[in-house]
Amino acid sequence: MTKSIGDYLAELTTRFAQAGIESPAADAEILIGHVLELNRGQVQAQALIGAKLDAGAHNQLEELATRRANREPLQHITGVAHFRQLELAVGRGVFVPRPETESVAQLAIDALRASGQVKPLAVDLGTGSGAIALAMAVEVPEAEVYAVEKSTQAFPYTRKNFEKYEHTGARLILGDLRDEFAELDGLVDVVASNPPYIPSAAIPRDPEVRDFDPELALYGGADGMDVIHVVSATAKRLLKPGGFLVIEHADTQAEQVCQLLLADGWREVQKHRDLTDRDRAVSAKK
């Protein structure tokens, strides 16, 4: 028997809620839309008019819904993560960008716009999917943006995303953030980074993070600060006097990051909250 989209949407929402998914209705709408090539509003409209699912779409949805109910990230299933104005390719092996990182990108974008340079220069250290770097490149089109990613598992997704937005001229390399871009030493206006910052013993509760996000992008040593130390040192090398650094961190690490940057000789060290009013980033000037 063919099901209506409305009935199947209600069924999926219940299944996802029982699986512990935080946004079951939204995930159900996105998944149905992914298969039917509709946006969420169109899915809702089709549900209201009693449109039917054909057998092929129903079978495909059942397979994908089972994966989501098993807590595979929705973005891995659809292959797409939305970040500010971007649609980014993601999958197993690359960190899925989070909404809270959008506020970190905004700090970097604001600093680029305020730099006073005709062609400001920016670097994203540990770019992952390319989210922060490409947000800077798209939203500040006059900027020259460079990015580095270490993970060979993440890099195919990163490269695909940079190719999609190649009109920006953003440049990507595979390498270690601690020693790349020597040719830019002392020339950069803005350095941004969302490094791994989870302490190695603090295993995330959410299965989407614990079981699917790559460990290289999550864990930052015993206290979570190992890579942040490296970011501070690299940014100090890259930035010109007065250059701007912004680092994302866990909502419990603001004081640690501030103290680290002050000890490294940074000026104007400031904490910043995200849209949920949690400490999310620290900025500083060289």
Hey, which residues are catalytic here? 95, 194-195
Nearest residue to 212 via CA among 265, 154, 145, 137: 154
Q: Which residues contact 211 (CB under 8 A, 6 or more apart)?
A: 71
- Residues 273/254, Cβ–Cβ less than 8 Å: no
Pull the structure tokens for residue 193. Answer: 């980074």
How far apart, in Å, are the Cα atoms of 114 and each of 6, 171, 189, 243, 267?
Answer: 49, 22, 10, 11, 17
- Residues 6/50, Cβ–Cβ less than 8 Å: yes
